[in-house]
Structure 1
Amino acid sequence: MHLDIGNALAGIARPGVSRDSLDRLDDCVARAHERIERGVEEREFGYAALALPETTAAAEIERAVAPLADSEAVLTVGIGGSALGAATVSAALGRGDADAYVLDNVDPRRANELLAALPLSETAVHVVSRSGTTAETLANFLVVREAMADAGVDWTERTVVTTGEDGPLRALADEHGLPALDVPEGVPGRFSVLSSVGLVPAAIQGHDLDGLLAGGRAGMDALAPSLYECPAYGYGAACHALEVRGATTNVLMPYAERLEYFAEWFAQLWAESLGKDGLGQTPVRALGATDQHSQLQLYRAGRRDKHVTLVRPRERPERAIPETGIEGLSYLGGSDLGTLLDAEFEATEASLAAAGLPNVRIEIDALDAESLGRLLYDAEAACVLAGELMGVSTFTQPAVEWGKRAARGLLGGGDFEEAEAVAGKERLVIE
């Protein structure tokens, strides 16, 4: 991963970070690195995620999905970190040998439409839940299983499970002899993309798991006790410094449509990990060049509470723009869509800098397995570093657990006091 934080420096941006401030912050980064390094070595909860490129066995995943190698489609049934990582990898690397879909919400219309469109007899289903009790995931799986049975499809021959050591989903896998992989120990879901949680669909699609993990290992090898020597730490430190100075919104704007899901994944990673104790940047998802026309006005001329992270691959496929004699458009002819997109990237970057809005450039070599693995790993390392600098509990999510208990109580899944808050809602109805 290649990082440029020049447009976040004081004198260019408002808010901005001076070089002297970065030098002082670098001492904090060195101490945080020691803590992270120790946590990774001892496989402590959360920190174990940064060891996944070494502990994930690609061959084990590929063996588990081998019976599903003939699939025309792969459907991930999960939610949050149990789905977004898989969707990100599949979207970034493309179709491969199968189309990829995600059922990560319990909207009945979406479920009905998706199941009606899927070739169920040729669809592989990957069900993901650490506890095996996640309400949304299990409800959707029951719906998918019924749809397969109604279509005359033996769901047990089309399903692979990733779950914890015990729980209802593990028991179901054991009962029916389903291929079952383990959710990695000590790894929160949003940090689990470089494990079976995120890689099973990619394996069914025939993507290069070894390349993804090699990219992650390159990120591991690049960790160093200085923000000036490590792109991941440089990004995490810059984001922290900008937040302290008032940039409480982080707009992630990839200039590659295949990275649109990466922005979704990043939003959960950043929000759920760092939104603690009244702190944390709000992640906003955008897509270049599309959102230059829908959001850039706000970023340049709105509240000064944002910084923009621009992401692009350095290599792109070619698609020539045909010559035209239309007045005012002839300059486009003979160029290339990728060249145009890169020009849009650089124009947006310059536009933000001219307006004094801090922005950061992240580039990867190409949109391939190894570069994607490095990008995912570095984003996670940046998040962990930012959490260390902020002093928050990066790997917990108490607010999310509160909502889960409330929903389960409302559905009759137990006696949870959080459900009582629903009945106490203040109302002011206007019809």
Structure 2
Amino acid sequence: MDVDIGNALGTTPGLTEETLERLDDRVASAHERIARGMDADEFGYASLTLPETTDPEAIREATDAFETPSAVLTVGIGGSALGAGTLSDALPSDVDAYVLDNVDPDDVKRLLGSLPLDDVVINVVSRSGTTAETLANFLVVRDAMDRAGVDWTERTLVTTGEEGNLRRLADRHDLPALDVPEGVPGRFSMLSTVGLAVAALQGYDVEAVLAGGRDGMDALSGSLFESPAYAYGATTYALAERGALTNAVMPYAESLETFAEWFAQLWAESLGKDGLGQTPARALGATDQHSQLQLYRAGPRDKLVTVIRPTERAEVPIPETDLEGLSYLGGSSLGDLLDAEFDATEASLAEAGVPNVRIEVDRVDERALGELCYGMEAACVLYGELANVPTFTQPAVEWGKRAARGLLGGGEFPEADAVAEKRELRIERG
């Protein structure tokens, strides 16, 4: 993974090299703190050791309990699903992957009605085993399999903590089960059992994903000028401090669209604390440069745009044509056109003084994805250290979970009482 921060310099808001050089002393101190946390296996910091601590053999053993299915359905939410989805949507496989990460009844009904339930592996993921959305969806899936005459116990893999409802269910029915790693928040768990079980079921090279993560670990150093991940984390932090409070992440590869969703959770849940943070926005190049780029270039000067691309792509030639005004396209390729769109976006933003950062990977494969996601996690942790926010907690998320559980009768939670206090100003159609 390479990072180019040149277009973040001299913009509005923007930085100078002198600013970054001054910040580099703080990066060195933050790196020391991060390294200590990794060495001590502290909560949160343990996430950055996953490329070394994750056991691919345990993942293989659990997933080998199933013959190659036609599809795998992950039942989870947030970090329990987005890491696996990032890999599944980025890489080709003969095994289709689906996710139930919402409780929209129309969508759940449609999806279950379209799946061959007798040849699907259900991958249910919840650290606590109490996540309302996940357990509700799992109960619905289990019921659908029962009604279809499918033994769900023969088609279910559980990934959960050492205790809780799912652990007891796995023990009772002797289901294949994987442990969620200790000390790793869900949004940082891609390079663990949480993100890699589906990869194994789809036939991906799990070891290569972890090797990419180790590449990212090896690239960490005490200077932002020597570490791509820290260069990104320090630059985004410094720009946010100067008013770039939105980070629009814009991959120029359809295969990385779900990666942008994964990034959005990582960035928002980790850094949105104490009135601080940087709002992640998702875009897709070249599609959204025909729409959102208008706002990024000509709207309020409160944005950073992160553009991401692989430098190696499949070659799809554009045929020659004699159509007037289109002959310039003939003889080139779709990859050439996409690269030109990428370069034009960078130049358009730079000319308007809008800060943008380029991230490049060699290609979209297992190793590159492991390195890219590890790099973004390390960047996020560094940003949190520099901003002095508790990166690994999510109190606002937990508040909402308690409120929802209380409303459903899952216990006495004072957060649920706030629902009755909602202020209303209704405007009804006549």
Question: Do both proteins adopt the same fold according to a TM-score greater than 0.5, normalized to the shorter chain?
Answer: yes
Contact residue 75 and residue 125 of structure 2 kept, 8 A: yes
Native 8 Å contact 1:97 1:204 kept in 2:
no
- Matching residue of 2:63: 65
Distance 1:338 1:99 in 2: 26
User: Deviations 1:152-175 (Å, cap 9, x if unpaired)?
Assistant: 111111110000001010000001
Which position in structure 2 is the counterpart of 1:24?
22
**Structure 1 segments of 4+ aligned residues over 2 angstroms from their partners:** none
Corresponding residue for residue 161 of structure 2? 164
Q: 2:189 aligned with 1:192, yes or no?
A: yes
Q: What is the CA deviation profile of residues 90-139 of structure 1, one whole-angstrom value per residue up to 9, with x for unaligned ones?
A: 11122x13001000000000000000111111111100000000000000
Report deviation, 1:215: 0.3
The answer for the alignment partner of 1:368 in structure 2 is: 365
Residue in structure 2 matched with residue 89 of structure 1 by the alignment: 87
Shift in Å at residue 349 of structure 1? 0.5
Contact 1:312 1:362 survives alignment (8 Å) = yes
Does structure 2 retain, via aligned residues, the 8 Å contact 1:309–1:362? yes
Verify the 8 A CA contact 2:247 2:279 in the aligned structure 1. Answer: yes
- Equivalent position amino acid for 1:66 in 2: D
Residue 248 of structure 1 corresponds to which residue in structure 2? 245
Distance across 1 between alignment mates of 2:277 and 2:124: 31
C-alpha displacement of 1:69: 3.4
Partner of 1:238: 235
Which residue does the alignment assign to 2:43? 45
Matched, 1:429 2:421: no
Q: Equivalents in 2 of 1:291, 1:352: separation in Å?
A: 14
* Unmatched segments (≥5 aa) in structure 2: none
Question: Do the aligned partners of 2:65 and 2:176 also contact (CA within 8 Å) in 1?
Answer: no
Residue equivalent to 2:9: 9
Aligned match of 1:176: 173
State the distance in 2 between where 1:312 and 1:390 align: 28
Code of the aligned partner of 2:20 = L
Counterpart in the other structure of 1:228: 225
Task: State the aligned residue count.
Answer: 428
Preserved contact between residue 79 and residue 104 of structure 1 (Cα < 8 Å):
yes
> Once the two structures are superposed, what CA deviation does each residue of 1:340-395 show, in whole Å capped at 9, x if it has no partner?
11111011010000010000000001101111100000000000000000000000
After TM superposition, the structure 1 stretch with the greater mean CA deviation from structure 2, 61-70 or 14-23, is 61-70
Separation in structure 1 between the aligned mates of residue 332 and residue 290 of structure 2, nearest angstrom: 22
Q: Which runs of 5+ in 1 are unaligned?
A: none
- Offset at residue 282 of structure 1 (A): 0.3
What's the counterpart of residue 382 of structure 2? 385
1:151 aligns with 2:144: no
1:149 Cα deviation from its structure 2 partner: 1.0
3-state SS in 1 of match to 2:372: helix
Whole-angstrom CA distance in 2 between matches of 1:293 and 1:182: 44
Shift of 1:59: 1.5
Say whether residues 1:270 and 2:261 are aligned partners. Answer: no
1:297 Cα deviation from its structure 2 partner: 0.4
Measured after TM superposition, the shift of residue 324 of structure 1 is 1.2
Measured in 1, the distance between the counterparts of 2:336 and 2:140 equals 45
Task: Give distance in 2, aligned partners of 1:320 and 1:61.
Answer: 40
Q: Distance in 2 between matches of 1:97 and 1:164?
A: 30
Query: Following the alignment from structure 2 to structure 1, what is the Cα–Cα distance between the partners of residues 216 and 105?
Result: 40
> Amino acid of the residue matched to residue 45 of structure 2?
Y
Aligned match of 2:325 in 324, 328, 344?
328
One-letter amino acid of the counterpart of residue 250, structure 1: N
1:77 maps to which residue? Answer: 75
Q: Which moved more, 1:322-331 or 1:98-107?
A: 322-331
Q: TM-score, normalised by structure 1?
A: 0.99
1:334 Cα offset (Å): 1.7
Is residue 55 of structure 1 aligned with residue 47 of structure 2? Answer: no
CA drift of 1:70 comes to: 1.8
Aligned partner of residue 366 in structure 1, secondary structure: coil
**How much identity, in percent, do the aligned residues show?**
71
Q: Does the CA-based 8 Å contact 1:106-1:140 persist in structure 2? A: yes
Does the CA-based 8 Å contact 1:130-1:183 persist in structure 2? yes
Q: 1: distance between equivalents of 2:154 and 2:326?
A: 55
Aligned partner of 2:292 in structure 1 is: 295
